[in-house]
Structure 1
Amino acid sequence: MVLKKRIRISKNSLIFLIGFIIVIIAYFGSPLSKVRNINVEGVNDLGAQQIINASKVDDHSVLLHVLIHHKSIAQQTEKKLPSVESVSIKSRNFRDLTIKVKEFPTLGFIYKNGSYYRIIKNGQVLNQKMNAPIGNYPVYSNFGSKRLKQISKLYADLPSNVQTNISEFYNAPTKLNPYRIKIDMNDGNKVVADIRTVKSKLKYYPGMAAQMKKKGVIDLEIGAYSHPYKDKK
């Protein structure tokens, strides 16, 4: 003989269970369960809306769902935006979200086929067309991938007061020196240098430029000297 046990639920417990289910259904069906505000922190070159669009989180998203899947949402955002190093998502005030972003630093832009492309760590060129460069970053011209990686890393290691004065790098090899480069400066001067030694020599640029009475060329290729531009006749 098989004895069946009957589970008895008290009337109060049943009322509580039904009430709890109603509250849960009402909560998820109400605006209180949805994300209210999204605050993006840490963006520099990207716009906050780009981060939000990549995360696919908006005011129709259920906050609890976002918090449960925050790691996969962060990974999805990083994958869509290669210039983003990391993303973290946290809630505040029970209905608001904070998306904290860490970007790879922009090292400049390269111009090709009528568009500009952002360069980040290790000379990586992002596949994102831009009509014009943004921010105070240099443009790189005529560099192959290997040399671009070298020169962009060099730029990243320069003092900030030198970085902000660089407008454009040119790959300008000659038969005598295949490592020759030229640099346009924002103050109107030009620099001629050797890519193998320019990092150590550019630290002298601010002092040399300050001593120049006229705008001109600072030659750092072999030694370190300057001369004014030749007057056009």
Structure 2
Amino acid sequence: MTKKRVTKIDPKEKLSPYLSHQSSKKKKNFRTNTKISASLSKLHNERKSALLKRLGLIIGVSVIVLLGLGYYISPLANVQSIQISGENDLPVKEVVRATDIKASDKVVDYLLNKNGVSRKLSVKYSEIKNIKVQVKDFNHLIIEIDEYPTKGYIKTSKGYRKILTQGKLGSQFIPWSKVYPDKPVFVGYNHEVSLKKILHLFNSLPPDFQDQIKLLSGNTRRKSQVIFLMKNGNVVIGNISTLKSKIKYYNKIKTKVGKNTLIDLEVGAFSRPLTPNEKRAYGLI
């Protein structure tokens, strides 16, 4: 009887791939679990940080709202005084009354509604172009007035009024002492229609010629006639319809004549000395 051959098998050798696989799987699972744990921890920290930021923002906004509400209902928010600033000839006390701002009113209301204040003042005073409202020391209002530039002045029976760049007249009657000498004075143009015509002509003339005009007289023999008293003492006569095209001759004639000369551009283009009566009439003597 033949003996069966017995093969010796090492259990470790047979189990080695399995054990190795199990070990590798455990390591892999450990690394995966570690990564998941780290990710969860990071996500938790991010959520916590975002929550704290939102909470801080809510608290911050709430504090600001409470402080603002506390200021608004406190006497500190009531208008304490009004200051008018800006280059203007308007009566300060009347301007303050025209704003209709009372001591019991809230400063914030006028900061948010400065257009309403501007409209009120612009309706009463044609000089006002726009305003700026500022606050000083919590409850002191400063109203800075921006006026339309002055084109000239018109003489009336009550005094002088500004002629503004938009064609309107100033609301105030001012004395001669407040008339700027570099601006022309319009005399004899009490009617709105005649003033508009002469203003249209004046604005169409070259700027260097405008700067030389001291006075525009509407006291003429004919409605179509215009008379300019120049700052150098000369007098220019012209026709409203043709003066713009003839004004180019003025500088040529001016260099050839002396002071107190009449330069007539109405029909042709000639000059002569002013008579004593004309000098008195134009206030040159």
TM-score normalised by the chain length of structure 1: 0.67
Query: Could you say what the CA RMSD is over the residues aligned between the two structures, in angstroms?
Result: 4.2
Deviations 1:48-90 (Å, cap 9, x if unpaired)?
Answer: 94896344569986431211221211111111211223x2435
Gapped runs of 5+ residues in structure 1?
Answer: 1-16
Within 2, Cα distance between the matches of 1:39 and 1:204? Answer: 48
The match for 1:138 is: 184
Are the structure 2 counterparts of residues 167 and 62 from structure 1 closer, same or farther at C-alpha, using a change threshold of 3 Å? same
Paired residues of 2:233 and 2:259 also in contact (CA < 8 A): no
Are the structure 2 counterparts of residues 56 and 109 from structure 1 closer, same or farther at C-alpha, using a change threshold of 3 Å? same
Within 1, Cα distance between the matches of 2:209 and 2:93? Answer: 30
Q: What displacement does 1:94 show?
A: 8.3
Paired residues of 1:51 and 1:77 also in contact (CA < 8 A): no
Gapped runs of 5+ residues in structure 2?
Answer: 1-61, 278-285
Are the structure 2 counterparts of residues 226 and 79 from structure 1 closer, same or farther at C-alpha, using a change threshold of 3 Å? same
Give yes or no for the alignment of 1:194 onto 2:244: no
The match for 2:56 is: none
Within 1, Cα distance between the matches of 2:232 and 2:103? Answer: 47
Paired residues of 1:35 and 1:62 also in contact (CA < 8 A): no
Greater RCO, 1 or 2 (C-alpha within 8 Å, sep 6+): 1
Paired residues of 2:229 and 2:236 also in contact (CA < 8 A): yes
* Corresponding letter in the other structure for 2:186: Y
The match for 1:64 is: 108
Secondary structure of 1:211's match?
Answer: coil
The match for 1:14 is: none
Within 1, Cα distance between the matches of 2:242 and 2:93? Answer: 39
Within 2, Cα distance between the matches of 1:72 and 1:187? Answer: 47
* Corresponding letter in the other structure for 2:205: L
Larger radius of gyration: 2
Within 2, Cα distance between the matches of 1:68 and 1:221? Answer: 57
Q: When the two structures are aligned, how many residues end up with a matched partner?
A: 212
Q: Percent of pairs identical after alignment?
A: 21
Paired residues of 1:139 and 1:168 also in contact (CA < 8 A): yes
Secondary structure of 1:183's match?
Answer: strand
Which structure is higher in helix share? 2
